[in-house]
Structure 1
Amino acid sequence: MAKQKMLQFVSVARDMPEKRAPNLRNQDFGEIYAEFAAQKAEEQASRCSQCGVPYCQTHCPLHNNIPDWLRMTAEGRLEEAYELSQATNTFPEICGRICPQDRLCEGNCVIEQSGHGTVTIGSVEKYITDTAFEKGWVKPIVPAAERGESVGIIGAGPGGLAAADRLRRAGVQVTVYDRYDRAGGLLTYGIPGFKLEKPVVMQRIEQLEQGGVTFKLNCTVGEDISFADIRKAHDAVMIATGVYKTRDLQGPGSGAEGIVRAIDYLTASNRVGFGDTVAEYESGELNAAGKKVVVIGGGDTAMDCVRTAVRQGAESVKCLYRRDRTNMPGSQREVANAEEEGVEFVWLSAPKGFAGDPVSGVMVQKMRLGAPDATGRQMPELIEGADYVEEADLVVKALGFEPEDLPTLWGQPDLEVTRWGTVKADFRTHQTAMDDVYAVGDIVRGASLVVWAIRDGREAADAMLATFDAKSASVAAE
């Protein structure tokens, strides 16, 4: 009788791909996890319990068919595993690297809850698609037939790119407009290479270009081209701009030199990684080398900033967060990686103001956790008389992002927004109040996850195709 391939969690322990030693990985921007070898990927995939109600799949925003492609991996049917993975996820190799699996699929794994340690879903997902690229299984985009409809997508981040892929495969003519000189949005300029090496993103953009997607880069809507002109040029428009407006800090000295935005800091670092000359990096304005760095915030962007500062050769790196470790929004895995690399976390601490100009220190208020708020998280409360000054030569604001005022920037008062400034869109079709205008990703949700943007982009593309088909059928019936 053939050996049972699955349900090996009782005899095979959970194992992650090998992680490079902290004193080696903090010297460069290469990814910190090694790739699974084929045998190890098969072994770890075989730990899946193949449960009847797969919570991993339910808690994945894309509802990836995780148990089935784990089984195929365990059985050595890797090309089939890739095809199944790609069927629901436009960019599985990216999600495998940057999704917070500990909060999504892996965090809801049945065997994790039974004490055996979760299946390493993200690492297997990454391995499957990396192997597919290596083996040539990732096929060019070739529509079965070209269609006459044209779609303009504003924003070349994950939501816009996912929609472009889906529309182009259906034969729609697609043009993507983006303010940056490279496509990818935060995948390219916001996420550091140690989490997502840039060739991984560039190969997907190249696939889209070769498949017929037109990219108009260095193109700011409202300046280089009007929103009205984009609408005139296309049958439908998708807004996928993301949210780039930084939440600001208040308090004395908050405008001092040496206090910078996380997005500027990370973009400069990523540009240097591409080989670009960045004046603000060369001058030291956006370079942590030799400096005492304080990052303010507790999300994944803050984790990206502290770990970038370590690699740039900072003298010291501290992260101030107003709640404790348990209540922080960032991935616990990222916090652990940062601590291993030498970052110091200063919990229950909030900035009150800043000393010096250029900045020389952060005036810190110590906090304690009080009663829970409406979300169930304990609210930080000030401890009187516990203030002190944390030395700093560079302060990075990583307090989250808010939407830009698109109706004003684009001269479109009919574009409805919520009281938070996000664009109002139907949660199923993603259509806005404007005819044939759709919106997806963070500009609708607020700052969220890449995987949600991918889902939105795919759903909106499907809704557009359904509308195009309905219009074609109506014309044919007349």
Structure 2
Amino acid sequence: MTRKMLQFIRLHQQAPDKRAADERAQDFGEISVAFDDDRAGAQASRCEQCGIPFCQIACPVANNIPDWLMLTATGRMEEAYAASSATNTFPEICGRICPQDRLCEGNCVLEQSTHGGVTIGAVEKYITETAFENGWVKPPRPRVELTQSVGIVGGGPGGLAAADALRRMGYKVTVYDRHDRMGGLLIYGIPGFKLDKSVVERRTKLLAEGGVELKTGIEIGRDLSFAELRARHDAVLIATGVYKARALGVPGDSLSGVHAALDYLIASNKVGLGDTVPAYEDGTLNAAGKDVVVIGGGDTAMDCVRTAIRQGAKSVKCLYRRDRANMPGSQREVANAEEEGVSFEWMAAPLAIEGSGKVQGVRAVRMHLGVADSSGRQTPVAIEGSDFTLPADLVIKALGFEPEDQQALFGAPDLAVTRWGTVWADEKTAQTSIDGVFAAGDIVRGASLVVWAIKDGRDAAASIDTYLKAKATRAAE
């Protein structure tokens, strides 16, 4: 069906329907019901086709959103997928997990003019699922095979995006990951109710069919030395991400029952994938029947509280030191959590984890927002005499992630790092302090969004291509 654009004047914004909160809180299935053809086309037709597309400007991978919205509205779905996938390696993943309310949709002119933004993420997901159903999504097979090879350390979104791009260029590509599955945080960090694991596995299968060699269970520096890795390949890309949990920095941080968010989420996701996880089976990383307190206000904290609800927690509370308007996570995720039964303690910070050997509660203090710091955000200040205690059998630290000591892990003291511990890489070329070694994603920029990792991986692939072509030219002279 062909539709006219600018239909916002007669069509209201309609987000995808969600399963009822009491139903979805019982399982790890995705909570949103996918758009059908009619709703996707109708919502796409609301686009204003702006001369200055602020949605595209706000998108880290610069998706040509107005074009594929127009193509969807007019029923030209294969072209819509071609436009969508031209700038994004994994549009079906970003359509599901990107915080569109902070990126494309939040910057839509219709949103800013109070008409309700175009539901870009849901349409993006619809486009790619339609493409898969019709067989339009193909493995990354190159036209010409090249002799040079690239080794990629890390099978997360950045590494896999680079692998896809480099394979299409014709390079031999091998991805190494220390986990037993490819996907990184897409598989082990993000719960299934946001991203079904079959969606990720479908993509890694395509990469393998396209000739990308995927090697799991290999940790560089343990199973394969960094020197040997470099000797195997003409170029190397470090895309390991950041996994080290930030400490609470309060008394009782090491009590039994206090765990890092990623440890908790990995255990839950492995169980969902059918693995046996002893720490889940014995209750250590299982919230069933427990009073749970999650400390933090980002998307990882929302993943933890919503996972705890599904595991059958007795109560779930989120402790965050700023107010709702100043939290770093997606407001949609907060709303989903509230619907599912999570309670929020805004403007509160932990003072100590209490208990005798095992956690029994979290002592916290009320906060108010003081003057702005150098980043422009108001600094939380404790209110004297406002202490209170939350009962807790399980405390989850979701305060963000820091890089591991990459120099020590790789046995590469000449790999330069920044004062934050991230790998230093030239901002234009993505090359590190070691010739032929590149870095991309969170290990360079710090903990960030999946879509930024995809952009960084694609950009690094382009730089590696330039480097290897110059290397080949020099060798031929």
1:220 and 1:446 mapped to 2: Cα distance?
A: 21
Q: Does 1:402 align with 2:390?
A: no
- Match of 1:383? 383
- Match of 2:146? 147
The within-5 A match list for 1:199-218 is: 199-218=198-217
Superposed CA offset, 1:367-413 (max 9, x none): 11111111111111011111111100000000100001111222211
1:187 and 1:201 mapped to 2: Cα distance?
A: 7
Aligned to 2:32, the other structure's residue is in SS state coil
Aligned amino acid, residue 384 of structure 1? E
Unmatched 5+ stretches in structure 1:
none
Aligned to 2:317, the other structure's residue is in SS state strand
1:416 and 1:190 mapped to 2: Cα distance?
A: 28
1:249 and 1:148 mapped to 2: Cα distance?
A: 49
Superposed CA offset, 1:108-142 (max 9, x none): 10111112100000000000001111111111222
Is the 8 Å Cα contact of residues 42 and 73 (structure 1) preserved in structure 2? yes
Q: Does 1:238 align with 2:232?
A: no
Is the 8 Å Cα contact of residues 292 and 394 (structure 2) preserved in structure 1? yes
Aligned amino acid, residue 291 of structure 1? K
Q: Deviation of residue 444 (structure 1)?
A: 0.4
RMSD: 1.1
- Match of 2:339? 340
Q: Deviation of residue 4 (structure 1)?
A: 6.3
1:475 and 1:364 mapped to 2: Cα distance?
A: 64
Is the 8 Å Cα contact of residues 428 and 459 (structure 1) preserved in structure 2? no
Q: Deviation of residue 267 (structure 1)?
A: 0.3
- Match of 2:452? 452
2:55 and 2:155 mapped to 1: Cα distance?
A: 29
- Match of 1:44? 43
Aligned to 2:33, the other structure's residue is in SS state coil
Is the 8 Å Cα contact of residues 425 and 439 (structure 2) preserved in structure 1? yes
> Comparing 247-256 with 124-133, which one deviates more in the overlay?
247-256
- Match of 2:264? 265
- Match of 2:461? 461
- Match of 1:423? 423
- Match of 1:326? 325
Q: Deviation of residue 259 (structure 1)?
A: 0.5
Superposed CA offset, 1:262-282 (max 9, x none): 001000000000011100000
- Match of 1:432? 432
Q: Deviation of residue 3 (structure 1)?
A: 8.2
Q: Deviation of residue 251 (structure 1)?
A: 2.2
Aligned amino acid, residue 148 of structure 1? T
- Match of 1:127? 126
Q: Deviation of residue 156 (structure 1)?
A: 0.3
Aligned amino acid, residue 422 of structure 1? T
Aligned amino acid, residue 189 of structure 1? Y
Aligned to 1:221, the other structure's residue is in SS state coil
Is the 8 Å Cα contact of residues 3 and 73 (structure 2) preserved in structure 1? no
Aligned to 1:354, the other structure's residue is in SS state strand
1:153 and 1:271 mapped to 2: Cα distance?
A: 24
1:253 and 1:451 mapped to 2: Cα distance?
A: 36
1:326 and 1:371 mapped to 2: Cα distance?
A: 16
Aligned to 2:175, the other structure's residue is in SS state strand
Aligned to 2:70, the other structure's residue is in SS state helix
2:38 and 2:305 mapped to 1: Cα distance?
A: 35
> Comparing 139-148 with 77-86, which one deviates more in the overlay?
139-148
2:427 and 2:140 mapped to 1: Cα distance?
A: 28
Aligned amino acid, residue 462 of structure 1? A
2:295 and 2:3 mapped to 1: Cα distance?
A: 50
1:259 and 1:147 mapped to 2: Cα distance?
A: 50
- Match of 1:315? 314
Is the 8 Å Cα contact of residues 93 and 130 (structure 1) preserved in structure 2? yes
Aligned amino acid, residue 110 of structure 1? V
Q: Which runs of 4+ in 1 moved over 3 A?
A: 473-476
Aligned to 1:288, the other structure's residue is in SS state coil
TM-score of the pair, normalised by structure 1: 0.98
2:241 and 2:2 mapped to 1: Cα distance?
A: 49
1:223 and 1:475 mapped to 2: Cα distance?
A: 33
Superposed CA offset, 1:331-360 (max 9, x none): 001000000000000011111111112111
- Match of 1:8? 7
Aligned to 1:219, the other structure's residue is in SS state coil
Q: Deviation of residue 215 (structure 1)?
A: 1.4
Is the 8 Å Cα contact of residues 44 and 69 (structure 2) preserved in structure 1? yes
- Match of 2:55? 56
Aligned to 2:358, the other structure's residue is in SS state coil
1:290 and 1:407 mapped to 2: Cα distance?
A: 42
Aligned amino acid, residue 53 of structure 1? I
TM-score of the pair, normalised by structure 2: 0.98
> Comparing 243-252 with 43-52, which one deviates more in the overlay?
243-252
Is the 8 Å Cα contact of residues 2 and 73 (structure 2) preserved in structure 1? no
Aligned amino acid, residue 27 of structure 1? Q
1:46 and 1:426 mapped to 2: Cα distance?
A: 41
2:89 and 2:405 mapped to 1: Cα distance?
A: 29
Q: Deviation of residue 170 (structure 1)?
A: 1.2
Superposed CA offset, 1:47-102 (max 9, x none): 00001110101110100110000000000001110011111100000000011111
Unmatched 5+ stretches in structure 2:
none
Aligned-residue sequence identity (percent) comes to 66
